[in-house]
């Protein structure tokens, strides 16, 4: 492996219409290879999204809070390595 850090995509949904957020997030997840991830930035705790991931992709993802409010939440969502 080279000494270069892999830069993950950031999906900041704070300025995106609410009805467009989940489709964008799931489209981003679908493009990931095993072990890859992206950073989700939101203005509230996206716990309903976590439940949605558990239904749609059980055991296929990791969800790690990097920042937990009160104004900004940042979560690393990754596709589980095989």
What domains appear along the chain, each with residue ranges and CATH number? Answer: 9-79 (3.30.110.40)
* Predicted structure pTM score: 0.87
Q: Which of 11, 65, 17, 7 is nearest to 41 (CA)?
A: 11
CA distance 24 to 18: 10
Q: What confidence tens digit (pLDDT) does each residue in 43-81 have?
A: 999 999 999 999 999 999 999 999 999 999 999 999 998
* Euclidean distance between CA atoms 39 and 76, whole angstroms: 5
**Per-residue pLDDT for 4 more than 60?**
no
Helical H runs in 3-81? Answer: 18-30, 47-56
């Amino acid at each position: 492996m080279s000494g270069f850090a892999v830069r993950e995509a950031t999906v900041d949904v704070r300025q995106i219409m609410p009805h467009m957020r989940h489709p964008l997030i799931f489209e981003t997840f679908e493009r990931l290879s095993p072990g890859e991830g992206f950073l989700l930035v939101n203005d509230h705790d996206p716990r309903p999204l976590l439940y949605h991931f558990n239904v749609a992709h059980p055991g296929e993802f990791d969800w790690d809070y990097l920042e937990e409010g009160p104004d900004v939440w940042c979560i690393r969502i990754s596709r589980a390595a095989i």
